[in-house]
Amino acid sequence: MLGDIAEKKRKSRKQSILFPQGLDEIIEENNDVRFIDLFAESIDIPSFSFNMKESKEERTAYHPKDLLKHFIYGYLNSIRSSRALEKQCHINLEVHWLLKELAPDKNTIANFRRDNEKAIRKVFQYTVHIAKHFELIGGKLIAGGSTKPWAQNS
């Protein structure tokens, strides 16, 4: 009975794949990664006091803008783990585009986060400043009491 069912033709996993488009054409014009790229490229890294370390080995270090882009991407997509961010470099086309196919390892990502905690905080404060400038937020203080409401599942 199963022999009579028409099945879709599967391709061999060993067959070479040739993308008909460039990476820039695959990522849509209104994709969030394009905004992240534009935002991170506009930041003056020295004025935010990013730690620009030289690599101890004979290889070149990642530029802080590239690691900041990766960090912001993870933040916006609820990816907090350095291991998960590293994995995204290998499986996610958006991250391929954003980092121009760079693939920092988990230690590099974790060290960037640890060594630049204050600078990253300044970047997020800067985003609030930009949002206020373009009147995307009001900047009004909203305070709540210290009581905790309780909910029931029923």
Instruction: Tell me the mean pLDDT in the region 55-84.
Output: 88
Span 44-67, pLDDT tens digits: 999 999 987 665 665 678 999 999
The pLDDT tens digits for 83-127 are 999 999 999 999 999 999 999 999 999 999 999 999 999 999 999
How many domains is the chain partitioned into structurally?
1
- DSSP state letters, 85-111: HHHHHHH-HHHHHHTTT----HHHHHH
- Give the per-residue pLDDT at 4: 65
Contacts of 137 (CB under 8 A, 6+ apart): 128, 131
Q: Does the pLDDT of residue 20 top 70, yes or no?
A: no
Q: What range does the domain containing 126 cover?
A: 32-45+61-136
User: Is residue 66 included in any domain, yes or no?
Assistant: yes
Give residue 126's identity as a one-letter amino acid code.
Y
Has residue 144 been placed in a domain?
Answer: no
% pLDDT > 70, the chain: 77
In a domain, 9, yes or no: no
Residue 7 in domain: no
Q: Is residue 112 part of a domain?
A: yes
Q: Quick: pLDDT tens for 119-154.
A: 999 999 999 999 898 888 886 766 666 666 666 665
Q: What is the pTM of this model?
A: 0.76
Residue 106 lies in a domain: yes
Indicate the average pLDDT of the chain: 85
Rg of the chain's alpha carbons, rounded to an integer? 22
Task: Kindly state whether residue 95 falls inside one of the protein's structural domains.
Answer: yes
> Residue 96: inside a domain, yes or no?
yes
